[in-house]
Amino acid sequence: MRILHACAIALTLLSAGAAVADDKVLDMSTIDCKQFTAYNKDNTALVMTYLEAYYLGDNDAPVLNFTKMGTDTKNLLEFCTANPTIGLITAADKIMGKKK
């Protein structure tokens, strides 16, 4: 179920300005920190919602913690500003922890 929600969010990200193939697939692994830091607040929130779901553990409740998301967003934006050439998922691994 969580994967379905993450996919729905990813589809919403099609308007986020990332490179999208003709078949309307957004590969999150192609977004780099420079692109992420250039997003407006709405698109940043969409990406962070996806990442929060992605980094949930298999046994974690499907709950979106807005306080945690705010902290993760601040930390990820700071890291990405300092490291614009790093891939977003690599940066998120460092800030949010490896996928469980």
What structural domains and CATH numbers belong to the chain? 2-96 (1.10.890.10)
Least confident window among 16-25, 35-44, 46-55 = 16-25
CA 4 – CA 68 distance, rounded (Å):
22
* pTM value > 0.75: no
pLDDT of residue 26: 74
DSSP 15: G
Query: pLDDT by residue (tens digit) across 3-13?
Result: 545 545 554 54
Task: Kindly state the tokens that stand for 76.
Answer: 């990820």
Q: DSSP states of 5-63 as a string? A: HHHHHHHHGGGGSS---TT----GGG-BHHHHHHS-HHHHHHHHHHHHHHTS-TTS-S-
Considering only CA atoms, which of 22, 23, 47, 21 is closest in space to residue 35?
Answer: 47
